[in-house]
Amino acid sequence: MKKRGIGIGCTFYGTGYGNGFPDISTAFVEIHDDGSVLILTGAVDCGQGSTTVLTQIAAEELGIPTDMVTITCADTGCTPDSGTTAATRQTYTTGNAIRLACQKAKKTLLEWAAKELGTNTIEGLVIAEGKIMVKGHPQKSITFKEACAKARFAGNRLIGEASFTTHATQVNMEDGQGAPYWPYAFGTQIAEVEVDTETGKVEVLRIVAAQDVGKAINPQSVEGQIEGGVAQGLGWSLLEEVKLSSGNITNPAFSSYLIPTVLDMPEIETYIIESHEPTGPYGAKGVGEPAMLSAAPAILNAIHDAIGVRINDLPATPEKILEALQEKK
């Protein structure tokens, strides 16, 4: 008999290295004669999309389109240390470093432009539509490109360097008290499953996933992280297990260590919640790891809802489900 059930999983995740560990990213920026930009940062893109997001942050801060931004990442021969691509930290920590570095380069440019445009403070200028304009009097402007060339010819160097440290405090080793991580990310996922009580097989029919990411710099990328996180959570709860015999891995192959294929995956509905983190770049905090947390408990709770037995020992294989059903009888 096939029985359906629905389950929910709520989770949270402290991002960053945490516990007072030096959690620092550094970025360099250089604006060229034609207004195009080079960013240097040590941040590795493992495929999750940090390079794209960091480019967007630089473009936004400088008021230019992203196709004017080139970024070189993760070469110790030319990029500064930006920490590990881990702990859901690159958008937040390196994003902040790039934002600060761009502000420094921009300040030099605007100081030159303020003189050129006869403004008494750079606060009176705005960069938009390829121009540096006087606020409230946009008729007075200079193209961004011309400003960069002239400012550099006048002897300025439009460069910026900045480091950003994510704050975290060590916990007390006696009672664990402290503020070990910042910021925290939150998520809820609800799963609907169908359990075949004859075979013990679980089919996940639907997952709805909502993640609080502070601000989605690139919503499609955020969705991709959530969908990929659901897949890993599903694999973890139902399929995956490194099997050991006296410390030896007996299934070191994709034929015996099963990860989800497209046919194991349900349709996933994602909801991006933007709570705005004031310390994050444009309100952003990370999404990578938090996105994989909620699917597994949601699926396990859905199995319980469907057939009235709990699998408390992962993964919830058909064998374990049949055994649990047998015990229940």
Partner 1 sequence: MTIGKSLPRYEGLGKVTGQAKFPADYYMPGMLYGKTLRTPLASAKILRLDTSKAESLRGVAKVVTAQDIPGENGHGVIFPDAPILVEDRVRSINDAIALVAAESEEIAEEALSLIKVEYEELPAVYDPREAMKEDSPLVWDKGNILYHLPIRKGDVEKGFREADVIVENKYSTQMVDHAFLQPEAALSYIDETGNLVLRVATQYVHWDRTEIARALNININQVRVVCATVGGAFGGREDMTLQLHCSLLTWLTKRPVKMVYSREESFKAHSKRHPIYMKYKTGCTKEGKLIALEAEFIGDAGAYSSWSPNILRKSAVHATGPYYVPNVKVDAYAVHTNNPFTGAMRGFGAAQPPIAYEAQMDLLAKELGLHPFTIRWRNAFEEGSETATGQILETSVGLKETLLATAKAYGWDVEKLY
Partner 2 sequence: MIGTKSFEAIVNGEQVKLNIPQNLRLIDVLRNYLGLTGTKEGCGEGECGACTVLVDGEPYNSCLLFALQVQNKNILTIEGLASYNNLHPLQESFLEHGAVQCGYCTPGMLLVAKALLDKNPNPTREEIKVAISGNLCRCTGYSKIVDAISAVAEKGVKR
Residue 219: DSSP 8-state: H
User: By rule CB under 8 A, what count of residues binds partner 1?
Assistant: 120
Rg of the chain taking only CA atoms, in angstroms: 25
Helical axes 295-307 vs 318-328, angle rounded to 10°: 40
Name the residue nearer to partner 2 (CB basis): 114 or 226: 226
Name the residue nearer to partner 2 (CB basis): 169 or 218: 218
Q: With contact defined as beta carbons under 8 Å apart, do 23 and 165 qualify?
A: yes
| 214: partner contacted, choices partner 2, partner 1, none (Cβ within 5-8 A by kind) | partner 1
Question: Which residue among 143, 199, 220, 326 contacts partner 1 (CB under 8 A)?
Answer: 220
Q: How far apart are CA 167 and CA 144, in angstroms?
A: 35
Q: Quick check: 154 binds partner 1 (CB under 8 A)?
A: no
Question: Which residue among 4, 20, 74, 201 contacts partner 1 (CB under 8 A)?
Answer: 74
DSSP per position, 145-214: HHHHHHHHHTT---EEEEEEE----PPPTTT--S---SSEEEEEEEEEEEEETTT--EEEEEEEEEEE-S
Q: Quick check: 310 binds partner 1 (CB under 8 A)?
A: yes
289 is catalytic: yes
Q: How far apart are CA 158 and CA 150, in angstroms?
A: 11
Q: Which of 30, 194, 227, 289 is catalytic?
A: 289
Name the residue nearer to partner 1 (CB basis): 116 or 315: 315
Residue 284: how many other CB atoms lie within 10 Å: 25
Q: Quick check: 150 binds partner 1 (CB under 8 A)?
A: no
Question: Which residue among 257, 265, 323, 325 contacts partner 1 (CB under 8 A)?
Answer: 257
Q: Write down the least CB distance from residue 223 to partner 2, Å.
A: 7
Question: Which residue among 22, 120, 153, 174 contacts partner 1 (CB under 8 A)?
Answer: 174
Q: Write down the least CB distance from residue 85 to partner 2, Å.
A: 12
Residues that bind partner 2 (CB under 8 A): 46-49, 220-221, 223-224, 226-232, 253-255, 259-263, 265, 267-268
Q: Quick check: 138 binds partner 1 (CB under 8 A)?
A: no
| 268: partner contacted, choices partner 2, partner 1, none (Cβ within 5-8 A by kind) | partner 2
Q: Write down the least CB distance from residue 49 to partner 2, Å.
A: 7
- For residue 68, what are the contacts with CB-CB under 8 A and spacing of at least 6? 35, 36, 37, 59
How far, rounded to the nearest angstrom, does the alpha carbon of residue 299 sit from its chain's CA centroid? Answer: 24
How far, rounded to the nearest angstrom, does the alpha carbon of residue 325 sit from its chain's CA centroid? Answer: 40
Task: Please state whether beta strands 244-245 and 131-134 pair in parallel, antiparallel, or not at all (unpaired).
Answer: unpaired
Residues that are catalytic: 289
